Amino acid sequence: MSSSNVVLINFGGNHLSGELPECFIKWQLLTVLDLSNNKLSGRIPNSIGFLKHLASLNLLGNNFSGHVPCSLQNCTGLVKIDFTDNNLGGDIPKWIDTRFFNLRFLIFQSNNFSGEISPSICQLTSLQILDLSNNKLSGKLPQCLNNLTTMTTKRILDKPQYLYNISLDTAFLVTFQESVSISIKGRECTYDINLYLVISINLSNNFLSGDIPIEITNLVQLQSLNLSRNRLTGSIPDDIGNMKALESLDFSMNSLSGNIPGSITTISFLNSLNLSHNHLTGRIPQSTQIGTFKESSFIGNNLCGLPLRISCKNDGNAPVPTHAQIQGPKSNKGEIDWFYVFLSFGYAVGLYAVLSVLFFKKKWREAYYGFFQKMWDCVYVYSIIQWRRLMRVLGRNL
């Protein structure tokens, strides 16, 4: 196979060093370029802009410096750009806009990017993961974030995406599984076969200021939102409860004021919350969900109520519960609890009905066992992938 037919380059996780040559013009069919976790330095070559078929560009974990080359705007088929942990600087390019209609993962984490976040980012309607954390970005958050339609519209989940089936010649086919590593809930997580499920924004550890725009509450499919360690002011939007899909929310270490909106108690999937070290006041809204969070989620404010050990001033006026209320309703040990009798009977009837259908209906039985066979195949394939990845890591360290 001639060099002009190269479609995949994966040199990730080696000890490559020095600068990249301007050599990419001869590989115009390249689809995947992975040079992650090396020791490469210098500027990103302009010749990458000739890669019109490029879908995945991963330069994570190197020492690249300078600006993002303008020639990259020619690679409009990009699905992923990952420049995590480099020394790139300057403004985030304003040409990253609607022409990148396939771009789903924009990750510039841990660089030296400065300036404001351009509203052009709001034109990336396919964006799933936006990570600009640990930079020097300033200014206000764009008010147009509600234009990120993948984060606002309920999707019909289909088969896992981001598998690139690349034909090296007529007899050999390579499948490349895309993966992304991001920080969620304070932990570094790597997503691959389940990548299509993740929707996240991380703008933490910058110099962003001003209010949190109300429009952000329209991102009803967003699962993780991290705006911590900035200079944000104003109050938490009252409609934060609209973001029903949120599992992780971090507004810590800002200068937010006012009360915690009561609507936050309606986010039933929320399992990681950090509002610490702001200027929030008043009573912490109470719910079963809020009750699961630790004191550390709220410290460094002027808040009161559980889980903090600070009582609110008007708590003393609350009526004292009676002994009967504390003890709860009396139980009659001699009586049969008919609720549990009928519950057990219903369970037995339902189980018998399902087993009967599976026994007498061949098609249903085949569909039932076929479903579990597919589930087993998925678990098996995932285990093999993780095992091989572990073996590669151990092999490098030996």
- State pLDDT tens for residues 174-208: 566 777 877 776 777 777 777 778 899 999 999 99
Query: Residue 267 phi/psi, 5° resolution?
Result: -85, 90
Short-list 294, 289, 235, CA closest to 265 = 289
Q: Give the bridge partners for 140, in sequence order.
A: 209
Cα gap 358→203, rounded to integer Å = 52
Q: Give the bridge partners for 176, in sequence order.
A: 164
pLDDT greater at residue 185 or residue 131: 131
Q: How far is CA 111 from CA 15, 68, 83, 200, 241, in A?
A: 21, 11, 8, 19, 33
| AA letter at 18 | G
**Dihedral angle sign, alpha carbons of residues 91, 32, 202, 217:** positive
Confidence (pLDDT) at 100:
92
- pTM here? 0.75
Confidence (pLDDT) at 196:
78
Mean pLDDT for the stretch of residues 268-283: 94
pLDDT greater at residue 96 or residue 313: 96
Give every strand in the sheet of 279-283, ordered side by side.
Answer: 257-258, 279-283, 302-304
Token digits of residue 270: 């929320």
Confidence (pLDDT) at 320:
35
Complete DSSP assignment for 328-371: -SPP-TTS--HHHHHHHHHHHHHHHHHHHHHHH-HHHHHHHHHH
Give the chain's mean pLDDT.
81
Residue entry with tokens 């597919």: 374
Token digits of residue 316: 């003393």
Confidence (pLDDT) at 289:
79
pLDDT over 70, % of the chain: 72
Cβ 232 vs Cβ 255: under 8 Å: yes
Confidence (pLDDT) at 318:
42
Rg of the chain (C-alpha set): 26
pLDDT greater at residue 301 or residue 342: 301
Among 19-33, 311-325, 334-348, which is the least confidently predicted range?
311-325
Tens of pLDDT, residue by residue over 144-172, are: 999 999 999 876 555 445 555 454 454 44
Confidence (pLDDT) at 333:
40
Mean pLDDT for the stretch of residues 323-338: 42
Q: What are the percentages of helix, strand and coil residues in the chain, rounded to 5?
A: 30, 25, 45
Cα gap 96→100, rounded to integer Å = 7
Mean pLDDT for the stretch of residues 252-268: 95
pLDDT greater at residue 341 or residue 58: 58
Pairing mode of beta strands 172-177, 163-169: antiparallel
Confidence (pLDDT) at 356:
64
- For residue 390, pLDDT beyond 80: no
Cβ 56 vs Cβ 178: under 8 Å: yes
Cα gap 374→222, rounded to integer Å = 29
